[in-house]
Amino acid sequence: MPQLTISRMLLLFALLVTAGLVTALGVQTYAIKRVQIDGPLYNEIKSQKDLLADLVPPPLFAVEAYAAIYEANFHADRRSRAIARIHELKKLYDDRKAAWVAADLTEPEAKIIREKLIPASDRFWFVTLEQFIPAVGRKYDTMMAVMDDLARAYQDQRQAVLELSELASEVSASNERLATSEASWLGSTALYGGLLAVLVFVLGVIFIRIRAISPLGAITRFMEKMARGETELSVPFKSRSDEIGLIARALEVFRMTGIEKEKLEFEAQAAGVQRMQDQQAREADALRRANDTAMVVDQLGAALRGLADSNLQVKISDSFSPEFEQIREDFNRSIETLEDTLERVMDGTVDVRRASAELSAGADHMSRRTENQAAALEQASAALEQITATIGHLTTNTQLTRQLVGQARTRAEDSSEVMKNAVEAMHRIERSANEIAQIISVIDEIAFQTNLLALNAGVEAARAGESGKGFAVVASEVRELAQRSAGAAKQIKLLIDNSTTEVSQGVKHVAETGKALTEITAFVASIDVKVVDIVVGIQEQSTGLRETSAAINALDSTTQQNAAMAEETAAMSSTLTEQAAALAEEVQKFQLNNTQQTHGQRNVLRSRLNAA
């Protein structure tokens, strides 16, 4: 079983108090929700009140509608208004009927509404709308029968309303009594719950004071005594298993540590004298080391000051103490290394200056050649641009020529089609002329037969004597007319033959013309193909020239950049030469150990620099 520590005890106490307060709060909240506005009991009471309000008078109670019926029956001047009021009351009844059918009522109330009130009301409104209103103002006997039915329906509806009203009053009174009882019970429960929570809280505070606060006070007083050096006292509450016990056991460790500390302090006092003697010996040795260090610092300082003045004849010849001897040797080796480095720098400076001079001269030559090349490329680029413009103009003219050739080809094809149509027309004319010749032949034969008939008629008229003279004159006229018709037919036939000959010649000439136009169309088509090839070739040449011009422009730009870089290289070479000379002058300021060798090196260096 886990031990009851202070933290667990506090947690348990907090849970108990919280549970009590939450219980009290929940009960109070539930009580308020039950009896407050919009609570369950309040809504039930409100529903009953609304039901009573609807029952007396409308919409559910038909008393006002019944009064309007009497007004419409016995007062003709107010009949229309009364009938309109009846319809309004019927609409209100329908609205409230649907609401109360779906309302949350008790089962007895809902049963009365379903089984008594709504059937009686529907019966009343059926008689009113279907019998009374159509019959109002008619015969007395008819109206009396209708009024009797209305009276019975009204009494049934009124009885159902009274029954429902009494039941609603009883339910409302019962709900009010229930609400009062529940509010009283819930209020008492909340009060007792709050008192219980307060009691638990007070008991918890007392328990925590006994179990935690009082032991902490005792431990605090013990810690004050231990701070004053009273380490012989025993720590209280060491046997407890909670946080108080942990604190007490930790204090016991501190008490034992204090006792051990006192013991160590006593032993330290005994060892103090020996440490003082050792300290004096160490101080004497430190003084000696300080003197040696001062000497090393002085000699190194003098050598470094000479080195700062460009004097490399500053090697340290006096020996140092053993611990500093390595420093002297390292310094002397550094001076020798620096001398060798300066000599190599002198030689390298001459080489750098000579190479920079050669580089500067080469850069100058390259810059001039690059400038000449850039100028030539610029001229070539301008010439290519002119050629490109000329090719573009030629391309435009060639495209126009192609369009003209295409139009000529179209015209030639149209003319060929026209010639074909003309040839067909000539053939049709030739056929028509042949048909006319046949018709003329028929007319000629008819004229010949008419002449023969006229001749026979003249012979018969001559035989008839006097009685046939008139007929002989007519026969003579007919014969003359037939002869003229035959002569005209021969002339027409001659003209038709001439026309046929001319039409045949025209057909021949038109056919030859059509053949020539066909050949012209073929030639124009061939020219169009050649022109297309020329246009494509010119466009390809134009594209190639544009690409060549772009490449030359890019090459011109690159050449100009190379010229600029050559100029920059020449300038950098001049700067490098000047810096090499300045470096040589700086190196000549150093004083090397071998004086004769130093002067010789300086003279050689000057001659090399001048030559460069």
Instruction: Please write the tens of the pLDDT for every residue from 325-351.
Output: 787 778 778 777 877 777 777 777 777
Task: Look up residue 430 and give its two tokens.
Answer: 């030739």
User: What average pLDDT score do residues 511-540 get?
Assistant: 72
Residue 366 and residue 486 in one domain: yes
Predicted local confidence at residue 601, as pLDDT: 52
What is the domain-level CATH number for residue 559? 1.10.287.950
- Return mean pLDDT, the chain: 74
Q: Is the pLDDT of residue 352 over 60?
A: yes
Which pLDDT does position 531 carry in this prediction? 66
Q: Looking at residue 32, what is its pLDDT?
A: 59
Q: Does 208 share its domain with 332?
A: no
Same domain, 337 and 204: no
137: left (phi over 0), alpha (psi -120 to 50) or beta: left
Residue 304 lies in a domain: no
User: Would you say residue 50 has pLDDT above 70?
Assistant: no
| Whether residue 525 has pLDDT greater than 80 | no
Contact yes or no for 524/408 (Cβ under 8 A): yes
Which residue segment(s) compose the domain that 20 sits in? 6-218
Q: Tell me the two tokens of residue 434.
A: 């042949």
pLDDT grade, residue 302 (50/70/90)?
A: confident
Tokens of 591: 């004083």
The pLDDT score that the predictor gives to residue 331 is 72
The answer on 329 and 458 residing in a single domain is: yes
DSSP letter for each residue of 173-230 = HHHHHHHHHHHHHHHHHHHHHHHHHHHHHHHHHHHHIIIIIHHHHHHHHHHHHHHTT-
Residue 4, pLDDT above cutoff 70: no
Can you tell me the mean pLDDT for 98-114?
81
Tokens representing 561?
């950049």
Taken in order 402, 403, 405, 409, the sign of the CA dihedral is: positive
Domain assignment present for 268: no
Within this chain, do residues 412 and 561 fall inside the same structural domain, yes or no? yes
For a pLDDT cut of 70, what percent of the chain falls above it? 79
The predicted pLDDT at position 611 comes to: 54
47 with 175, same domain: the answer is: yes
Q: What is the pLDDT of residues 175-211, one digit of tens each?
A: 778 877 776 787 678 677 767 877 877 787 687 777 7
pLDDT of residue 73: 83
- Answer with the one of 164, 185, 218 that is the final residue of a domain: 218
Residue 262 has pLDDT above 70, yes or no: yes
Q: 300 lies in a domain? A: no
For residues 41-61, average pLDDT: 56
- Burial code (b: 16+ CB inside 10 Å, e: under 16) for 495-526 equals ebeebbeebeebbeebeebbeebbebbeebee
Q: Look at residue 125 in the predicted model and tell me its pLDDT.
A: 92
Looking at the domain assignment, is residue 186 inside a domain? yes
Tell me what the mean pLDDT of segment 530-539 comes to: 71
Q: Which of 105-109, 303-307, 448-452 has the highest mean pLDDT?
A: 105-109
pLDDT of residue 268: 77
Report pLDDT for 596: 45
The crossing angle, in degrees rounded to 10, of helices 140-208 and 118-127 is 150
Average pLDDT value for residue range 475-490: 76
The mean per-residue pLDDT over the stretch 505-517 comes to: 72
What does each C-alpha distance from 95 to 100, 102, 168 come to in angstroms?
A: 9, 11, 20
What pLDDT, on the 0 to 100 scale, is given for residue 590?
64
Whether the pLDDT of residue 59 is over 80: the answer is: no
Confidence of residue 609 (pLDDT cuts 50, 70, 90): very low
Residue 344 belongs to some domain of the structure: yes
Confidence of residue 31 (pLDDT cuts 50, 70, 90): low
- Window from 83-97, 253-267, 431-445, 581-595 with minimum mean pLDDT: 581-595
Check whether 606 has a pLDDT greater than 60. no
Which helix (DSSP H) or strand (DSSP E) does residue 612 occupy? none
pLDDT at 55 over 70: no
Output the pLDDT for position 605. 47
State whether 341 and 472 are in the same domain: yes
Last residue of a domain, one of 218, 244, 269: 218
Can you give the pLDDT at residue 592?
63
15 in any annotated domain: yes
Q: Which residue, 194, 218, 242, sits at the end of a domain?
A: 218
The answer to whether residue 318 is domain-embedded is: no
The whole-angstrom distance between residue 81's C-alpha and the CA centroid of its chain comes to 68
Give SS3 for 563.
Answer: helix
Residue 86 has pLDDT above 80, yes or no: yes
Question: How many domains, the chain?
Answer: 2
Residue 595 pLDDT more than 50? no
pLDDT reading at 377 higher than 70: no
Residue 151 forms part of a structural domain = yes
Q: Are 588 and 605 in contact (CB under 8 A)?
A: yes
